[in-house]
Amino acid sequence: MSKSKNQNFRRPLTLFSFITATARDGSQVTEKRLQDVSKVLKDSLTIGTTLKCKEKYVVYPIIHFTEDRNSLMSVLQDQNEVNEHFKLHQGVYREIKSIECEDGNGPFVTTSTSISYIVSGFKLLDTSLVEVMIESWKDWTGARHIYLHIPYDLGLQRISLLKKVAPNSLNSFTYIVLAECLNVNTEEKKTLLLDFVQRMRIEKFLSGYLSAPKKKSKGSKGGRTSAGIVDGVSMAEMSREQLEGFAARMKKELEREREERNFFQLERDKVLTNKDREIEDIEEKHQDEIKVYKQKLKLLMYEQHVHLSEVQAENMVSLKIANDEHLNEEEELTKENDALKQEIVEINLRHIEEINNIRLEHARVMRELKDRFISDCQVIEGKYQKRMEDLRNRMDLKNKVEVAETEARKNKRIAEIIEDHNNAFNNLKEHYNDITVNNLTLIGSLKEKLLELKEDQQRAEMDLKEVAKENESLKGPLKEAQITVEELTQKMSNYLKDKQRLMVLTKRLKHSNDKYKDLQVDYDELKMISEKMQADLDNAKDEYSNKLMNLQMEHGKKLLAIERRLKRSGETVEEKEAQIARLTGATSADTSIAMAMNAKTEALLDKKNRLIEQIWNDLVVVTQKYNELCKHFKSTLRHHGIQGYDDGVFELVPADNKHEYFENL
């Protein structure tokens, strides 16, 4: 957000100095020449801000401005030749409008080298619209464009509009727009600002200048460096009368300026009054023109109505004439249509007659063609019939010759086959004769063999009987052998299974041996640990036994002390009873004394009984603790697997009667 300030109070004056090249194209502006002119102007431009333009070939490469009063009181150099390459223009300006921007209040680290300015200068030739231009300065100066479009990172702080106060010359700008940026601290941001200025110049047709970082002068801003010169005499050297005269002259000039201001204000009021009158006259004239235009409009509407009526009448007449013409044309077209229909009927009749004639002609031509084709066909058929008979005769002759040749070959082949058959039959007959002779010989030999076989059969039957007897006798051994075979088979299968198991067990044995070796190593380690623990256990047992013996001795001592106390108490009770008996005998005459003595004795007995009861309770508590300690010791021994030590540890079992307990001890 930003706000535009319209200052009602008078802002301080600012002296602007513009260094420009004598050549308008800027060809004389070089870095060395700029350094030389800076050295020349070093004394006169010490206080304030010096801006060095970053653009090339610009009109004003160096701009300086200051609010120092001494500099403002010096003589203005409207157009002074600094050297052969540069000249100086100066002007006094006052800020009349400004825009304060909150972008400059952002998180920026402001230094003397991070501040840059955009300077826009404007010259005004026509002063008739000054107030309008001042009110709309944001638009024609480009301030609104700068405020809306400048990048936020540049840190825009303030945009000011300054108006020239002196001198009244066209060598310097009439208005100056100064935009201050606080965060131009890198080359990238300088390039970004330069690009923004160049784009604005192209889009808004403005002349802008990008300044170098702000450089503070060594001297104080309000320091006094040189005195003003009035009428050729320095103010420091002027006398009081001269100063009073100068002050009076300045007052007169002030009065004159006021009168001129009042005069111009009256002139402005007159101009405004004349403008108001002109506006009223124009308004009246405008109203008269409106009335005239309304009258003209009514006249035009009336003329349009009359013209419309005439046009409607003309259209009705034209429509009737057109309707009559249309009816006449329709009658003529109907007549033409009837004539065309009659003509079409006649044409159809002519076409039918022509078609009939064409059909008759076609039938005649067809008959002629048919007769001609039949005669040609008969000629061709006779010719080909003759050819067919000749061909049939030739084929019959050829067939007969081929049949005769085939018959001769067949007879020859039959004779050859008969001869071959006879030869084969004779050979077969001889073969079967040989077979018959051989069969007869074989039958005779077989009969002889049959007799021999019968004899052998009889012998075999006899042998069979003997073998049957032997078989009967061998059935028992056979069963035993079968059982033996089954057992051996079972053993064989068991052997195979055992063999497989043996292989598995061998592997397991090997694995077990490896594991045994590992366990042996672990066993040795555990054995060493066990021996160490056994030694520790023996030490603990000895220590525990010693502690237990000490506890038993202490407990025995306590019991003996308690027993002695009880014996002493018993003896004391007996003595008291004897004393009571003696006192009773001595004081039997006095009953009241006896009763008092009995009461005292009973009180003493009660006290002793309470003491005995307390001692008994203490004894029971000590006994319980002792028994718990013994049980813990036994459980510890059993936990560690140590046997044979339970007999050395005994517990105390208190009796129901106190006297029995002490007797057991």
pLDDT at residue 595, as a whole number: 65
pLDDT at residue 462, as a whole number: 83
Give percent of the chain above pLDDT 70. 80
Ramachandran region, residue 644 (left: φ > 0; alpha: ψ -120 to 50; beta: rest): left
Element (H, E) at 116: strand 116-122
Length of the chain: 665
Cα–Cα distance for residue pair 173/121, rounded to 1 Å: 6
Q: Is the pLDDT of residue 654 over 60?
A: no
Least confident range from 274-283, 480-489, 507-516, 534-543: namely: 534-543
Q: What Å distances lie between residue 496 and 484, 489, 491, 504, 510, CA to CA? A: 18, 11, 8, 12, 21
Most confident of 264-273, 297-306, 465-474, 476-485: 297-306
pLDDT at residue 9, as a whole number: 44
Least confident range from 112-126, 156-170, 620-634: namely: 620-634
Q: Is the pLDDT of residue 193 over 80?
A: yes
pLDDT at residue 375, as a whole number: 86
Most confident of 176-180, 294-298, 638-642: 176-180
In 3D, which of 12, 17, 50, 19 has the Cα closest to residue 34?
19
Q: Is the pLDDT of residue 8 over 70?
A: no
Q: At what angle do helices 240-586 and 591-639 cross, to 10 degrees?
A: 120
Query: Where do we find the tokens 């040795």?
Result: 524
Mean pLDDT for the stretch of residues 506-516: 78
Query: What residues have CB less than 8 Å from 90, skipping those under 6 apart?
Result: 15, 16, 17, 18, 76, 77, 78, 80, 172
pLDDT at residue 215, as a whole number: 39
Note whether 55 and 210 are within 8 A (CB).
yes
Q: Return the SS3 of 108.
A: coil
In 3D, which of 219, 214, 179 has the Cα closest to residue 64?
214
Note whether 61 and 34 are within 8 A (CB).
yes
179 — pLDDT class (breaks 50, 70, 90): very high
Q: Is the pLDDT of residue 606 over 80?
A: no
Q: CA end-to-end span of the chain, whole Å?
A: 109
Average pLDDT over the chain, rounded to whole?
Answer: 76
Cα–Cα distance for residue pair 76/64, rounded to 1 Å: 14
Planar angle of CA 35, 41, 44, nearest 5 degrees: 155
Note whether 114 and 167 are within 8 A (CB).
no
Q: Which CATH number fits domain 13-205: 1.10.3470, 3.30.70, 3.90.1200, 2.40.160?
A: 3.30.70
pLDDT at residue 659, as a whole number: 46
178 — pLDDT class (breaks 50, 70, 90): very high
Q: Which phi and psi angles does 399 have, rounded to 5°?
A: -65, -40
More confident: 415 or 1: 415
Query: Where do we find the tokens 């602007």?
Result: 16
Digit-coded pLDDT (tens) for 563-575: 777 777 767 767 7
Mean pLDDT for the stretch of residues 76-102: 81
Q: Is the pLDDT of residue 219 over 50?
A: no
Give percent of the chain above pLDDT 90. 3
176 — pLDDT class (breaks 50, 70, 90): very high
Digit-coded pLDDT (tens) for 441-453: 888 787 888 888 8
